[in-house]
Amino acid sequence: MKQRIIRAIAGTFILISLLLAVKVNVNWLWFTAFVGFNLLQSSITKWCLMEVILEKLGVKD
C-alpha cells in the first residue's frame, strides 16, 4: 500500500510541477528534477523520506 501511495504522490508532484512550468514559470522544472533525483536516490539507497513520513502517519504496507 505504501509503495502505491509513494508512486501516486511522486506522479502527482511531477504533473503539477510540469503544469506550473508551462503556465506560471519555467523554474518549476527544478521541482520536477528534485522529485526525479529523490526517486533515483531512493532506488540506490533503499531509503525514502516519504516512506518514513507515511509510516509516522500510520500507513501500513
pLDDT of 61 > 90? The answer is no
Provide the sign of the torsion angle of the four alpha carbons 20, 23, 28, 32, taken in this order.
positive
Cell readout for 48 is 525514502
Compute the average pLDDT of residues 31-58: 96
- Alpha-carbon distances of 50 from 6, 19, 30, 43, rounded to whole Å: 7, 22, 19, 13
Compute the average pLDDT of residues 39-54: 95
In this predicted structure, what is the pLDDT of residue 1?
86
Compute the average pLDDT of residues 10-37: 97
